[in-house]
Chain A
C-alpha cells in the first residue's frame, strides 16, 4: 500500500500541491485524474521521489520514503516500475536490451534466464518476437507496451503510469488499460495511473482521485463518478461530447 499524507509541493512561489492525502491499495488500479495543471504528474513524481515534496510524507507499506537516505531509496526503487508518458525507452538499445537493462544491473542471473524473463514479459504484452527492434522502429502503442514490459521485468510491487494513453488511438488505449489492469490483479501490484482520459476512468478506475487546483477535490469509484454533485468534477467528466451524449441517453 502507498500512503500520501499532506503532500505540498511548490516551485518558487507557485504552489502546485496543497495538502494531498490519499491511500492506494495493492491489487487495485488507482487513477489520479484532473485537468491540465491540476498537479497530477507532480503528485506522481513526489511519490516516486523525482520531486521532493515541500511538506508531507509518502509511505510504501509503512516505510517512510520521504525521510530515507539515498541507499534506502535505491532499495525501494527496485520494487517500483514506471511507465512514462513518452515511454522513455533507451534509444540506443533494442527492445530486448531495454527490458534486460534492469535485470543486468541488479541481478546475477545467467543470460539464458534473463532472456527467458524478457521473452515472458514480451509475450505478456503481446510483443513476442520483437526483441531485436529499436524504439525508432516501434509504433506509439508498441513503445508503451515495451515500457510496460520493462516496468514489470523486475516483478515490481508498485507500478506508476504517467498518462499511458497519451497519443494513442482509442482502441490501443483500451488495450493498454486492460493490460495494466490484468497485470495489477495478476501480480497484486499497487498501481497508480495519472490520466485525463475518461475512457480509462470508466474502464479501469477502481479508485479515482480527482485533483483540482492542487487539491484533492473528490475521491471514489467509477460507479460513483457520474452521479456526484461536485461541479468541478462534472465539468471535467462531461467535458467531451461523447460523455454528454451518453449521459443524455
Chain B
C-alpha cells in the first residue's frame, strides 16, 4: 500500500514539472501563493519562535547548575539548538498544520466539486497549474520564515534570559558569538527547503486524490498534516545523519 501511494506520488510530481501552458499566469499564481504562505504564516511563526527561544534559554539555565560551566554557554546552546533543530523543524511542523491542511482542503474541494476535471477538460495540466506555484512558493518562503524564526528565537532567548536573571546580556551575546559554525545555517536551510517540499507536495497529493465529498476533504486534510509531520521528522533525522 505504501509503495502504491509512493508510486502515485512520484507520477503526480512528474506531471507537476511538465512545461507550463503560460508562464505569465503561473508567475502570477506563484506570487499569490508566496503571499499566502509567507505573509499568512508570519504571525504564528513569530509568536512560536519568540517563545521557543525564551523557553530554551530558561530551561538550559535551569539545567546548568555547575559553577564550572560558564553562563555564556546558555547563549551558545540556544543559538545552536535554535538554528539546527528548533526553528527549521518546529516551524515546519507548525506550517504542516497551517499550510498543509489549507492546501489539501483547497485542492480536495476543487476535486470533489469537479473544478479539477474542468481544468483538465480545458486542456490545462491540472497538477502543474495547481501544485507547481504552491511548491515554488513554499520552497522560497519557508526558508525565509525559518531565517526570521531563528532571529526571533535568539532574541526571545535574550530577553527571557536577561529578564529572569538566568544570564546577563553580555554573557548571552558572548555565548552567541563564541565558536559559531556557519555551516549550521546551511543545514537549517537545507532542512527548510526539504521540509517545504514535503509539506507542499504531500498535502497537494492528499488533496488531488480526494474521492467523495465534504467528509473526505476533511479526512484528506487530516492525512496531509499527519503524513507531512511524520515525513518531516524522518527527513530531519536523515539530514542530520548525512550533514552533521
Mutual binders A and B: yes
Binding site for B on A (CB under 8 A): 48-50, 70, 73-78, 80-82, 84-86, 88-91, 101-102, 104-106, 154, 160
Most buried by A among B115, B117, B121: B121
Q: Is the interface of B mostly helix, strand, loop or mixed?
A: loop
When the two chains form their complex, are residues B115 and A77 in contact, meaning their CB atoms are under 8 A apart?
Answer: no
19 interchain pairs (CB within 8 A)? A50-B117, A50-B121, A70-B18, A74-B125, A77-B121, A78-B122, A82-B118, A84-B118, A85-B114, A88-B115, A88-B117, A88-B118, A90-B118, A102-B122, A104-B25, A105-B21, A105-B122, A106-B21, A106-B22
Instruction: Report the bound CA distance from A89 to B122 in whole Å.
Output: 12
Binding site for A on B (CB under 8 A): 18, 21-22, 25, 109, 113-115, 117-118, 120-125
Instruction: Report the bound CA distance from A104 to B122 in whole Å.
Output: 12
Specify which chain A residues have a CB less than 8 angstroms from the CB of B125 in the assembled complex: 74
When the two chains form their complex, are residues A74 and B25 in contact, meaning their CB atoms are under 8 A apart?
Answer: no
Specify which chain B residues have a CB less than 8 angstroms from the CB of A104 in the assembled complex: 22, 25
Partner of A84, one of B21, B22, B114: B114
When the two chains form their complex, are residues B121 and A90 in contact, meaning their CB atoms are under 8 A apart?
Answer: no
When the two chains form their complex, are residues A86 and B22 in contact, meaning their CB atoms are under 8 A apart?
Answer: no
Known A-B contacts A88-B115, A88-B118; the reply to A75 vs B22 at CB < 8 A is: no
Q: Whole-angstrom distance from the CB of A5 to the nearest CB of chain B?
A: 21
Closest to B117 in A: A50
Specify which chain A residues have a CB less than 8 angstroms from the CB of B25 in the assembled complex: 104-105
Known A-B contacts A85-B114, A86-B113, A86-B114; the reply to A105 vs B121 at CB < 8 A is: no
Specify which chain B residues have a CB less than 8 angstroms from the CB of A86 in the assembled complex: 113-114
Closest to A98 in B: B118
When the two chains form their complex, are residues A88 and B113 in contact, meaning their CB atoms are under 8 A apart?
Answer: yes
Specify which chain B residues have a CB less than 8 angstroms from the CB of A84 in the assembled complex: 114, 117-118
- Which are the 3 A-B pairs with shortest beta-carbon distances? A77-B123, A88-B114, A88-B118
Specify which chain B residues have a CB less than 8 angstroms from the CB of A82 in the assembled complex: 117-118, 121
When the two chains form their complex, are residues A48 and B123 in contact, meaning their CB atoms are under 8 A apart?
Answer: no
Closest to A85 in B: B114
Partner of A105, one of B18, B22, B120: B22
